[in-house]
Amino acid sequence: MAISLVWVQRTRSATFDKGKWTAVHSYLVRDSTDQDLTIANIVDTAVTNPITPYLSFGGGTESVAAPFFRFISYTITPVQDGLGKLWVVDFNFDSTVGDATAGPVAADVKTSTEVGYTSIEVQTSVQTVDIWRTGATVPTSSNISLPALIDIAGTKVDSAGEPVSMLLPIQNISVRNVIYGRPDYATILAAAGSRNVSAFTLGATGQTFVCAASSLLFVGANTSRIGPNQYEINYQFSYDPTTYHLRQQPLRDIDQRASTTRVTPGSAISAANPERADVVYWKQPFPNEVAFSALGIVNT
């Protein structure tokens, strides 16, 4: 005869302790015609009234709280003197909420080796770059990949064609994903050394960090196998919202010397008549742009 399970709730409770929620609920289970049951019958999802709804906290009665708990285990025990007809199933749930006593707040609780895990690390530092001008206007977005060969204007600060150093603020961003299945190595290789063709957003909803188009450079990725068909990918980026990875270069002669001039060309060099680079261009060492969506990065 086909099995049809009857579930009767014994207990249901949730505990908030030290910033973490846990929950349990317990059910008596029997067959509607009092047939003998086995553990295989109870966990069989093909029977009538299967275990499936009870893998959610409250078994359908906790519509508000249930989404903030995840099922982690159950224990199935025969009732003493139940003659194999009556069993107790205790379900345990872990927290998917953060520190909150007023109500549940969604949070990411995946472990560092669990598929779907994501971490974002940002290192802020300065990079020393050579400049010949200060206050130069960065090209518009349509010209960042291939700047026009025109003088960038600004204030001349070089000394007879020799640049000075500027500390350029940058951020090195690392996005770590744990995925199921092999990474797409060819796509990763094709995108390395490219900038984002459109704005790229990091972080969860409400806590986003938006990198404007052309400002984010994909440096590369480290991949490793961490489990059966499970891989870790660590994507590396360099974020430059100031110059969009552009670099200044002076017009040079055949001997690679910067072309220079003075305020008054025929007069001697002096503090009021310094020798400066005549023409300075913007150059883009990373002209290629791609849609980072092709990498399949989970960045929240």
DSSP 223-282: EEEEETTEEEEEEEEEE-TTTTT-EEEE-B-TTSPBPEEESSTTSPPBTTB-EEES-EEE
Helix or strand or coil: residue 19? coil
Considering the domain architecture, whether residues 91 and 122 belong to the same structural domain is answered as no
Q: State how many domains the chain has.
A: 2
Considering the domain architecture, whether residues 214 and 277 belong to the same structural domain is answered as yes
pLDDT band at 102 (very low <50, low <70, confident <90, very high): very low
Is residue 232 included in any domain, yes or no?
yes
- Give pTM, 2 decimals: 0.65
Is residue 103 included in any domain, yes or no?
no
Considering the domain architecture, whether residues 281 and 133 belong to the same structural domain is answered as yes
Considering the domain architecture, whether residues 38 and 131 belong to the same structural domain is answered as no
Higher pLDDT, 206 or 156: 156
What is the number of other CB atoms lying within 10 angstroms of the CB of residue 170?
Answer: 20
Of the given ranges (25-39, 54-68, 248-262, 272-286), which has the lowest mean pLDDT? 54-68
pLDDT digits (tens, 9 = 90+) for 234-266: 999 999 999 999 999 999 988 889 998 888 887
pLDDT band at 99 (very low <50, low <70, confident <90, very high): very low
Instruction: Say what the pLDDT of residue 31 is.
Output: 92
Summary count for the chain: helices (H), strands (E) = 2, 18
